[in-house]
Chain A
Amino acid sequence: MGVIGEAIQWLTDPVNWAGDGGIPHRMLEHMEISGLTVLAAALIAIPAGLAIGHSGRGRFLVVSLSNVGRAIPSFAILALALPITIKLGLGLGFWPTFFALFALAVPPILTNTYVGVAEVDRDLVEAARGMGMADGQILRRLELRLAAPVIMVGLRTAAVEVVATATLAALVAWGGLGRFIIDGFAVRDDARILGGAILVAVLAIATELVLGGVERLARPRTVSVRA
Chain B
Amino acid sequence: MAIRRSKKNLFLSLVMLVVLAACGGGDGGGGGDAGGEAKGELTVGVSGAFAENQIVAEMYAQVLEDAGYTVDRQLDIGSREISQTAFNNGEIDVVPEYLASLLLFLDPDATATGNASENAEKVRTALQGKNAVLLEPSGANDTNAIVVTGETAEERNLEKVSDLAPIAGELRFGGPPECPERPFCIPGLRDTYGITFREFRPLDTGPLTVAALEGGEIDVALLFSTSSVIEDKGWVLLEDDKNLQAAENITPLVRQDVVNDEVTELLNGVSEALTTENITELNARVEIDNEDPADVAQEFLEDEGLL
Chain A residues near B (Cβ < 8 Å): 20, 86, 89, 91-93, 170, 172-173, 179, 182-183, 185-188
Contact = CB atoms under 8 A, between A and B. Distances in A.
Interface in B65-87: 78-79, 81-82, 85
A209 to B, nearest CB: 31
A183 B177 contact: yes
B202 A185 contact: no
A179 B208 CA distance: 14
Given A91-B211, A92-B217, A187 B203 contact: no
B77 to A, nearest CB: 10
B215 A86 contact: yes
Contacts of B176: 186
B236 to A, nearest CB: 22
B178 interface: yes
Contact of A92 (B82, B181, B199, B208): B208
A93 B212 CA distance: 9
23 contacts: A20-B199, A86-B211, A89-B215, A91-B211, A91-B212, A91-B215, A91-B217, A92-B211, A92-B215, A170-B202, A172-B208, A173-B204, A183-B177, A185-B82, A186-B78, A186-B81, A186-B82, A186-B177, A186-B178, A187-B178, A188-B79, A188-B81, A188-B82
Contact of B208 (A173, A183, A185): A173
A89 B82 CA distance: 34
Contact of B78 (A86, A172, A185): A185
Most buried by B among A89, A92, A183: A92
Nearest to A86: B211
A173 B215 contact: no
Contacts of A179: 202
Contacts of A173: 201-204, 208, 211-212, 217
Interface string B82-98: 10010000000000000
A186 B208 contact: no
Nearest to A182: B177
Nearest to B205: A186
Contacts of A20: 199
A20 B217 CA distance: 16
Given A183-B202, A186-B177, A186-B178, A93 B82 contact: no
Contacts of B78: 185-186
B199 to A, nearest CB: 6
Contacts of A187: 79, 81, 177-178, 181
Contacts, number: 48
Interface in B206-221: 208, 211-212, 215, 217
A172 B217 CA distance: 13
Contacts of B79: 186-188
A183 B82 CA distance: 12
A27 B199 CA distance: 19
Given A173-B208, A173-B211, 15 more contacts: A86-B211, A86-B215, A92-B208, A170-B202, A173-B202, A173-B204, A173-B212, A179-B202, A182-B202, A186-B81, A186-B177, A187-B81, A187-B177, A187-B178, A187-B181
B169 to A, nearest CB: 15
B211 to A, nearest CB: 6
Contacts of B85: 188
Contacts of B203: 92, 173
A20 B202 CA distance: 12
B237 to A, nearest CB: 22
Contacts of B81: 186-188
Contacts of B181: 187
A102 to B, nearest CB: 21
B195 to A, nearest CB: 18
Contacts of A86: 211, 215
A92 B212 contact: yes
Contacts of B177: 182-183, 186-187
Nearest to A90: B215
Contacts of A185: 78, 82
Nearest to B82: A188
A186 B81 CA distance: 7
A204 B202 CA distance: 24
Contacts of A91: 211-212, 215, 217
9 closest pairs, A vs B, by CB?
A188-B81, A183-B177, A186-B177, A186-B79, A91-B215, A173-B208, A173-B203, A186-B178, A187-B81
A89 B214 CA distance: 11
A28 B211 CA distance: 25
A183 B78 CA distance: 10
A79 to B, nearest CB: 11
A16 B103 CA distance: 29
B265 to A, nearest CB: 33
A210 B207 CA distance: 39
A182 B201 CA distance: 13
Contacts of B217: 91-93, 173
